[in-house]
Amino acid sequence: MSTLNLLVLVCMCYVALLFAVAFGADRAAARGRVGWLRAPLVYTLSLSIYCTAWTFYGAVGFAARSGLEFVTIYLGPTLVMIGWWWTLRRLVRVGRSQRITSIADLISSRYGKSNLLAVFVTVLAVIGTTPYIALQLQSVTLSFAAFAETDPEAINLSDMQSTALWVAMGLTVFTVLFGTRNLDANERHHGVVMAIALEAVVKLCALLAVGIFVVWGLAGGIGGTLDRIEASEISQFDVSGSRWVGLTLLSAAAVICLPRMFQVMVVENEDEEHLRTAAWAFPAYLMLMSLFVIPIAAVGLDLMPEGANPDLYVLTLPLMEGRDGLAILSFLGGFSSATSMVIVASIALSTMVSNHVVMPLWLRFSGNAAMMSGDVRKVAIMARRLSIAGVVFLGYLYFHLSGGGTALAAIGLIAFVGVAQFLPALMGGLFWRGATRTGALAGLSAGALVWLYCLFLPSFGPSDMLPQAVFDHGLGGIAWLRPYALFGAVGLDPVIHALMWSMLLNTGGFILGSLLSFPQPLERLQGAQFVNVFDHSGTPGGWTGNMAQSEDLLVMSQRIMGAREAQALFAGAAGRQGVAGYLPEPSPDFLQELERVLSGSVGAATAHAMISQIVGGAAVSVEDLMAVADETAQIMEYSTQLEAKSQELARTARQLRQANEKLTQLSVQKDSFLSQISHELRTPMTSIRAFSEILRDTGDLTPEEQEKYASIIHDETVRLTRLLDDLLDLSVLENGQVEINSQTGLLSDVLDRAERAAGVKDTALQVDRDRASEQITLTSDLDRLAQVFINLIANARKYCDGTPPVLTIRASLREAQVVIDFTDNGSGIPAEKQAVIFEKFSRIGQTTVDGAGLGLAICREIMERLGGSVSYLPGQTGAAFRVSLPRTGQSAAVGSEHEAAQARG
């Protein structure tokens, strides 16, 4: 088999292994076995996406051209990591407490959840990252081509463009599969992180193996290697001070600001304590990665023929010596570096693009944003998938158009300077309360402009956009505006020149803009939150939600988070407030929690906008206003506390009023029931008495007449008995004297039986069922359960006023609970009645339909006896009831508790 074929095979196997690892990690996470996925070492290894193919191949090339200077690219991150106590700790804490999804989200959150800023950061990040992705694709194709050259059998196999296209497509598939599993960016991508960690190990081992081979195999040990370095072109340490310091600072800034680094460092962080391990382990990783770079470069310069590409020494040195195995390992190392960068970068960028560009646009153009129909969740996931494909495709396009020339080699540093523009806004936002949105915008635009003009556009050489005349004489002939000599600063290295001016103007604009502008309340509040994150990691921007409609919020959240999660969240919040059902009081605490959860899905700015649309405007919470105000603090504290108290009082009063209303309603119901029951009892009694008197006193009755009167008496007695049975049933249930006969059967059978018994066949009501989902085996008192179903179906038959009336029955399994929803298309139950429908004797309105109003009360009692519940589900198409019960009766609950205890132990 030829080397090239072997390489393709090994590569395929390696990709299959990556898929398997990612899949396995995702599965383990889904089953809750996340112990080893959360190891600090995995976190540290995932940080290694800092080392892309630019490091793997490019570092040696860099060293071969300019000696030891390459090491600055790794010294900067080392400084940041060992200085974690300054910045990273704060960054990670803020990221976690604010549920940050990307660097754009962080900056937008800090400056009053401004979407304009988020869009700005996103665009800049895309411009900076696209060439970088192209660089990765180029490195894979180049290394592939290097193999093809040594292989005589390979005839024109390695068409560069098609290799790049295949790699791009494979990466897109992988990223879409494992990067968009879950919408909430705060639920980490375990599969991706695991695969990245594996790739980190592979690239380190590969580079070390090549290094050891070069030092001990080719150069004859450490002494020999040092001699070769002495004899090589790079024997002198002639680095200019400005470049040495400048590049170190630049790479330090980049490691914080690169979208992909932010993704693994902040967004995917599981535990702040992991930073403690990363603080020494990541510098150690970087040190090992750079350890053999100079020896490889020196030996490569010595041994390789003139004109060989130094960027590929890592690969071509083993190939030249005929070490195919080592060369393949080296190829895999480069492949790993390239793929892991593209995967994480495209996830990070797609989160930004979909949250800050696509979703806001979609919300705006689909009309009344928060309230329209349709599932936002599907749109968000689709937006993210398309963004991933778009980002990778852009990278490919850039590679295709630039023809994979040498222009790409310099792009690493250019991208670094681009993302470093986020630094003033980011650091200012974390450490300075006075930083404002205007300042951030001013600084970012100034920095971005200088970067584009002085570094990014000139990197393409003289072109239509930037002709040679501009290079020589400046824009419009003004010598001060020459791209490489801005403001007359001649003789500087272009990267350092652009870095210096862009950062100076950026920081200057940021500070000046902040000093001169006045922040919005929300900005000041978020500022206090961010800067004092260690003092009060609690409440961010507050809502006064007394006007909010909980039901509207539920409808909105269901579409963003999915019905199940939203209902669980609302029910949990309601439970904590001591309210039954699914609709909690829209207290500020609850609204904040909701906003944070939503921002995990759609980004802070969008979540804020959606809630404010329903709640009606943002307000500032009492304590936080306190933190912002300074001079009038005391007075304000007093008055705002009063305000808080009065709000609390108003809430309590409202709850009391509700309780009072309920009691009054109950009393009215009881009265009306008593008169109803008297009436119900009296009517049959009267006719029984009348007809029995006739039978007793009238002598000459025909047998037909006798039989007629007797059967009337009989029918009336039956009616009486049924009424009394119902009452008795209820009182037995209420007193807990009922016996439960456990049986095992299929849910669908129980529903069939209930449907028949409820007499649906002869009426207009259509029952829509999903039989596949009903194939659930239950162990419970099935007769009692059927009784509940009959009641609910009969209610729909009686009360549903849809045309035509349709009852939808849906069953599902949630952990150990069976949940059955009965939803009709009628007008539903008005909110003021929802609280009392499960009470005895309650009937909606004075309808003509017969029944004593005991049905739902009996249902509730039965379900409680069966260990489940029946509740009214608000926010659906019509009246909706949810029956839930444990799948296997009480014994299952005990069993699962036992399991849980074992898992803890």
Among the candidate windows 109-117, 228-236, 373-381, 696-704, which touches another protein by CB under 8 A? 228-236
Distance from C-alpha of 859 to C-alpha of 870, rounded to nearest angstrom: 7
Instruction: Enumerate residues 396-435 that contact another protein by CB under 8 A.
Output: 432-434
Q: Is 223 in the site for another protein (CB under 8 A)?
A: no
Cα–Cα nearest to 93, from 257, 271, 280, 278? 271
CB of 434 to another protein, least distance (A): 7
Residue 66 in contact with another protein, rule: CB under 8 A: no
The residue within the footprint of another protein, chosen from 237, 491, 699, 905 (CB under 8 A), is: 237
**Binding of another protein by 275 (CB under 8 A):** yes
**In this complex, which beta carbon is closest to another protein, that of residue 276 or of residue 400?**
276
Minimum distance, C-beta of residue 93 to another protein, in the bound complex (Å): 8
Cα separations (Å) of 491 from 21, 152, 485, 497, 562?
51, 48, 8, 9, 59
C-alpha 238: how far from chain center = 48
CA-CA distance, 734 to 751, in Å (whole number)? Answer: 25
d(CA 607, CA 100): 12
Residue 239 as a binder of another protein (CB under 8 A): the answer is: yes
Closer to another protein by CB, 417 or 533: give it: 533
Closest contact distance (angstroms) between CB of 114 and another protein is 21
Instruction: Select from 366, 468, 532, 763 the one that contacts another protein (CB under 8 A).
Output: 532
80, 103, 359, 425: residue in contact with another protein (rule CB under 8 A): 80
Give the helix ranges, DSSP H, for 292-375.
293-303, 313-320, 324-352, 359-365
Q: Which two tokens stand for residue 144?
A: 């592939």
Regarding 581 and contact with another protein (CB under 8 A), the answer is no
User: Considering the rule CB under 8 A, would residue 681 count as an interface residue with another protein?
Assistant: no
Question: Which residue's CB is nearer to another protein, number 537 or number 869?
Answer: 537
Beta strands 481-482 and 485-486 are: antiparallel
Q: Which is nearer to another protein, 277 or 869 (CB)?
A: 277
Q: Between residue 714 and residue 753, which ones bind another protein under the rule CB under 8 A?
A: none
Q: Out of 65, 276, 596, 810, which residue is the one contacting another protein (CB under 8 A)?
A: 276
Pinpoint the alpha helices (H) of 821-876: 831-834, 855-865
Q: How far is the CB of 623 from another protein (least distance, A)?
A: 12
Q: Does 769 bind another protein (CB under 8 A)?
A: no
Burial 280-294 (b: 16+ CB within 10 A, else e): ebbbebbeebbebbb
Site for another protein contains 535 (CB under 8 A) = yes
User: Using CB under 8 A, which of 2, 21, 24, 89 touches another protein?
Assistant: 89
* Residue 674 token pair: 């008593």
How far is 194 from 51, CA to CA, in rounded Å? Answer: 16
Which amino acid would we find at residue 442?
A
Stretch that binds another protein, among 108-116, 364-372, 527-535, 727-735 (CB under 8 A): 527-535
Applying CB under 8 A, among 13, 27, 30, 85 the residue interacting with another protein is 85
Question: Residues 6 or more apart from 631 whose CB is under 8 A from it?
Answer: none
Span interacting with another protein, options 202-210, 287-295, 402-410, 498-506, rule CB under 8 A: 287-295
Helix 563-577 with 588-602: angle, nearest 10 deg? 160
Dihedral sign of CA atoms 608, 609, 615, 620 in order: positive
Give CA–CA dist 587/546, Å, rounded: 7
Count of chain residues binding another protein (CB under 8 A): 51
Q: Give, in order, the Cα–Cα distances in Å from 249 to each of 79, 127, 244, 286, 770.
A: 9, 22, 9, 16, 62
Applying CB under 8 A, the span of 64-72, 373-381, 417-425, 649-657 interacting with another protein comes to: 64-72
Q: In the window 586-645, what residues touch another protein (CB under 8 A)?
A: 627-628, 630
CA 239/CA 254 separation, integer angstroms: 21
Q: Which of 14, 57, 62, 84 binds another protein (CB under 8 A)?
A: 84
- Report the interface residues with another protein, using CB under 8 A: 67-68, 71, 75, 78-86, 89, 92, 226, 229-230, 234-239, 241, 244-245, 248, 272-273, 275-277, 279-280, 283-284, 287, 291, 294, 432-434, 528, 531-532, 534-535, 627-628, 630
